[in-house]
Amino acid sequence: MANGDNLDHGWLLAPDPDREDLTRAVTGTDHTGRVTDIRVVEERPLTIYLNAREIVTAMTIGDYPEYLALGFLRNQGMISAEDVVTGIDYDEEIATVVVRTAVVTDHEEKLARKTRTSGCAVGTVFGDMMEGLEGLTLPATQVRTSDLYALAKKINTVPSLYLSAGAIHGTVLCQGDRPLVYMEDVGRHNAVDKVSGWMAMNDATPADKVLYTTGRLTSEMVIKTALMGIPVLVSRSGFTAWGVEIAQQVGLTLIGRMRGQRFVCLSGAERLIWDADLASVPEEPKKSGRKGAA
């Protein structure tokens, strides 16, 4: 369930850092030698099936398994917008989600079983994702810089596992200056897949949306955002060259290193409306020992 206070402020689905099954209490020793108790994020396997074919086992925090499964299959190109999903069955006891379609797709026969871990560098990429980009051009949606700063402030201050426990990524579906749906997971790909699943199950229109992520703007993040039809991708973190190249190819507005008053746009700068008053935007303090990091 989403946090009620956050829903009162306009969120459709917000983080719930107080949900006890998402973290575990662990006793350790701090830098002074004192015993300390902290909560750390849970990590558990979830196996996703497409009809009768086992597709992947993902390591996840365990919330919104149906959104994760459907979003993963859509973002990997295994289920298209034309495919009719007849059911999504989650079995908590055996940690399995089965997504069923009206017609068996060709992916069940040509894909072998794969395992995707929570490690940031080992997200599984199938060739169908790149194939889905052929001929794709995203709508030339304009973005107000004042909305970007408003989004960053709201997202970075809302209670979340990202702030309370760390070791987690967040992805937020936004519209204008309003964050709508905030998903978190141990892998940034899981978080964006949950957003994709939510959009599919709620018939959300992507053309006027912005996707905000705490993770790096890699090729896979750019591809998934483009395949979702979202024309703007924003991050606190930095870029990879291939991610930038793909964003330019499909017309995705790509903004990274957004901290305080600063950001860098490496694709789609012509679609920005520079209406923000920087005097009203507080600078973010620089962290010692991380000069130039992003």
> Known catalytic residues?
120
User: How far apart, in whole angstroms, are the C-alpha atoms of residue 182 and residue 53?
Assistant: 30
Structure tokens at 103: 């017609």
Helix (H, G, I), strand (E, B) or coil at 62: coil
Which residue do the tokens 């929570």 mark? 118
Q: Read out DSSP for 72-113?
A: HHHHTTSS-TTSPEEEEEEETTTTEEEEEESS--THHHH---
Amino acid at 279: A
Spell 124-146 as b/e; 16+ CB within 10 A means b.
bbbebbeebbeeeebeebebebb
Helix (H, G, I), strand (E, B) or coil at 47: strand
Which residue do the tokens 């409306």 mark? 273
User: How far apart, in whole angstroms, are the C-alpha atoms of residue 213 and residue 227?
Assistant: 16
User: How far apart, in whole angstroms, are the C-alpha atoms of residue 156 and residue 214?
Assistant: 10
Structure tokens at 30: 């701090």
